[in-house]
Amino acid sequence: MKISKSLLKRGLLLVLVMALVFSSGIVVYGAGDEVVKSRMRLGEDIENLDPAHLVRGYDIALALYNKLLKYKPGSSELVNDAAEEFNVSDDGKVITFKLKEGIMFHKGYGEMTAEDVKFSFERIIDPEQNSEYAADWQTLDHVEITGKYSGKIILTEPLASLLVTTIPFTPGSIISKKAYEELGNKFATNPIGSGPYYMEKWVPEQELILGRFEDYFGQKPNIEQIELYPIGDKNISEMNFDKGDLDVTEISLDSIDRYESDSDVDVHILSTLKYGFIGFNHKYAPFDNINVRKALRYAIDVDMIINGAYSGVPKRANAMIAPGILGHWEDAPQYDVNLEKARELLEKAGYPDGFEVEMISTSNPLYMNTSQIVKENLRKIGIEVNIKLIETSAWYEYVGKESHPIMFFETFSLTLDPGYWVEWFTTDQVGKWNFLKWSNSRYDELADKAAVTMDLEKREEMYIEMQKIMDEEAAIIWITNGAKAYVSNKRVDPVFLGHYNQYRYWKIVE
């Protein structure tokens, strides 16, 4: 019995590790002589806080670094951050900027100059850096210094996403050149920026403490210290929150009701930038038949999936791009369940008695639940769905690279730039991330064109047309853009950066 106990324990641990989510928040404690502190949950411990390589802990990066531009909290409006002046030339190829004077770096690394900006941006396209963000700066040629505080960003081609997801986000973070040259690889865990907080202490897997940067050039936040605890499991962080050990945390969507009845707690429900969808491999029968796909669209109960697998919290999505993002298709048709029509379409497709099909799922409850609902839905029109469980990394091999006549549920995490949303269904991505193996030349053409179109209205039209193409071809079944929920004490007023699923804004009195 010893063996089995340790097996279960190991299993539990693995699940704990797997259930990681980002989350954090802010609290103000006490007054007078006490240090004003906040305690938050950090879903997963950090690995690398260098903005050229940072792929988790985006919210920490927001506190550590400044960019030329930033988003206003809760909106998609851009305002100056480190930049005093910021202009884009008419052809979109030259960006001139002038830094504010007197922006200081943490820990005595001096004042921010155009030299630091040049270093920070050019470093990301340096092949030697092998940065995760190289594609975000793909058309950067070089940064020209024109004065101590001013410079020009020279591009080979205009890039529409530059002002959406590059300059105001992680790859636009400005680091201290001097510090990086001194610290080298150690910079990853000793980050030097100019943001409202500096990294005071990091004990791996225990805690990460951010201290308020007293020489911050903007208005100083009222919280002097932020303590972050890596807690993977939402159940555990909810317990910590209930005990008072945490002041803000992400919670599971099913806990919303319980916290909403508590008058000492604020519940924040945020829409996420994701899409969840049911996909099928278009290369194989029966999914190569448009009538089959249309039948599935009438048979799969999207509202049931949202209620059953998403706890009924997020809104239904009828097209790819979420509201608030350029290219959102407001008037996309909604296909409500109509079994009659579904059966007709199946008959038209030559499958009057339905067929049998494999649906691939990982052990993630969201995936398992969705698959089971789809199985129930499709049984009603004679389609027998066999759910095949597969381990996550094998899932990507199976669904992405290899080709099998299967259907599946999947979610993608996205950014504020619509180009990033549409990219995954282009022909180039077949064999990589285009799990549908769907291919449409008009769609590809529009994707390429929209990426370099600076006129927002024209760009929007193109993205909407792309979604219309997918709709006409019944290429995919959209479920939702998702939601996540946080709780905070009444004493706390966390500000979440609007519309970016993993980002939130530090409460800075502005």
Partner 1 sequence: MSENRNYLKEIINNIKESNLRRVFTDPLGLFGFLLILFLVLIAIFAPYIAPYSSSDIDIANRLASPSSRHLFGTDNLGRDVFSRLVFGSRIALTVPILTISFGIILAIIFGLIAGYSSERVGNIFLVIFDIIKSFPALLFAMTVIALTGSNLFVLIIIIGITRFPAYARLIRAQTLRVKGKEYVIAAKAIGASIFKIMYKHILPNVIGPIFIQAAMDIPVVITFVAALSFLGLGVPPPTPSWGTMIKIGYSFIRIAPWMVIFGGIALVWATLGFTLFGEALRDNLDPRLNRQR
Q: Which residues are near partner 1 by CB under 8 A?
A: 1, 3-5, 7-8, 10-12, 14-15, 19, 234-235, 238-239, 252, 254-255, 258, 304, 307-308, 361-365, 368-369, 371-373, 375-376, 386-391, 393-394
Determine the Cα–Cα distance for residues 208 and 198; give it in Å rounded to an integer: 11
Strands 150-155 and 140-145: antiparallel
Give the DSSP per-residue string, 327-381: T--TT-------HHHHHHHHHHTT-TT--EEEEEE-S-HHHHHHHHHHHHHHHTT
| Residue 120 or 371 with smaller CB distance to partner 1 | 371
CA distances (Å), 230 to each of 16, 43, 170, 182, in order?
Answer: 12, 5, 21, 29
| Residue 61 or 231 with smaller CB distance to partner 1 | 231
| Residue 142 or 375 with smaller CB distance to partner 1 | 375
Determine the Cα–Cα distance for residues 184 and 304; give it in Å rounded to an integer: 52
| Residue 367 or 424 with smaller CB distance to partner 1 | 367
Using N-to-C axis directions, what is the helix angle for 441-451 and 456-472, rounded to 10°? Answer: 160
Q: Which amino acid is at 432?
A: K
| Residue 35 or 389 with smaller CB distance to partner 1 | 389
| Residue 238 or 471 with smaller CB distance to partner 1 | 238
504: nearest Cα among 209, 244, 270, 225: 270
Q: CB of residue 392 vs partner 1: minimum separation in angstroms? A: 9
Q: CB of residue 387 vs partner 1: minimum separation in angstroms? A: 5
Judged by DSSP in three states, 131 sits in coil
Joined together, the tokens standing for residue 392 give 């996550």
312: nearest Cα among 303, 321, 322: 303
| Residue 371 or 481 with smaller CB distance to partner 1 | 371
Angle formed at CA 383 by CA 377 and CA 385, multiple of 5 degrees: 75
Strands 37-42 and 225-230: parallel
| Residue 185 or 386 with smaller CB distance to partner 1 | 386
